[in-house]
Chain A
Amino acid sequence: MPVPVEQYLLLGAVLFVIGMLGVLLRRNAIVIFMSIELMLNAVNLTFVALARHLDSLDGQVFVFFVMTVAAAEVAIGLALIVAIFRSLGTSDVDDAHMLRG
């Protein structure tokens, strides 16, 4: 008896909401960034579950593209965090307020 697809979708939804909570609640830039990765990962799980449900490989191909974008995003984002850390000496997002009007 296979697990119903709703269970996978619910798990994806729960992981996405946890990632959203991490973005909204934490102030450490690295943890916020990891929460974004968690949200991308939750969507990937949804894609794979629906690909299995619809008996189609399109969803799995999409997961590849999401992973590629996530890898490029991590490279740029971490470079930004390191640059901010070098100039301000902190990874707290509330300390980077030089552009505040």
Chain B
Amino acid sequence: MSGAELFFYVLAVLAITSALAMIFTPRPVYAVLFMVVNFVAVALLYLQLEAPFLAAVQVLVYAGAIMVLFLFVVMLMGPAPAPLWEHIPAQRPLALLFAVGLLGALATAIRKGAFTPLTGTMSSAIATAGGQSQALAEHLYNRYLLPFELTSLILLVGIVGAVVLARLPRQKNPTTD
């Protein structure tokens, strides 16, 4: 087994274990921490797939900002009571059945894909731009400029929505109004 394969399998096992632990732990705080482990493992896999900038963004945005937000809300709500599993009859066996079915379908599709083995490194665009981040930036700001601008609208809607939802209901007080 080569070094690359060892790297991949260790990280794959880590990612799957932490994802399973995230689902099965009864405590939300532990779930958030397992999720951080999962995101870091996936970020390291991005490094192996020659996406170093995405790996950095994954750690900063996902493992950093988003999970801190989750942790903040979990702490705000206080410690959770006993394990909370679905209690609708037949939902658990049906969920397992659908999960196995979906995994089987995806695995079959991937097996039938007949991908050629990866060769060398990512070449064309990166070499001309002079680096991975430069190539990505050229792509983002030329070909995908309009979608890039639209994401700022999405973020604005996110900010406005969060402010509106998190605001306390206005006090009915005639002296200050």
Contacts and interface: CB of A to CB of B under 8 A. Distances in A.
Interface of A: 1-11, 13-22, 24-28, 30-31, 33-35, 37-38, 41, 44-45, 48-49, 51-53, 55-58, 60-61, 63-65, 67-76, 78-83, 85, 91-92, 94
A55 B23 CA distance: 34
Contact of B113 (A6, A27, A72, A81): A6
Interface string B23-64: 100001001100100110010011011110110011001100
Interface in B139-156: 139-140, 143-144, 147, 151, 154-155
A17 B99 contact: yes
Contacts of B151: 64-65, 68-69
A78 B69 contact: yes
A63 B62 CA distance: 12
B39 A8 contact: no
Contacts of A80: 165
B176 interface: no
Q: Is the interface of B mostly helix, strand, loop or mixed?
A: helix
A21 B61 CA distance: 25
A45 B28 CA distance: 25
Contacts of B158: 71-73, 75-76
B74 A21 contact: no
Contact of B45 (A37, A45, A71, A83): A45
A62 to B, nearest CB: 9
B66 A82 contact: no
A3 B4 contact: yes
A11 B111 CA distance: 13
B136 A25 contact: no
Contacts of B62: 37, 41, 67, 70
A63 to B, nearest CB: 6
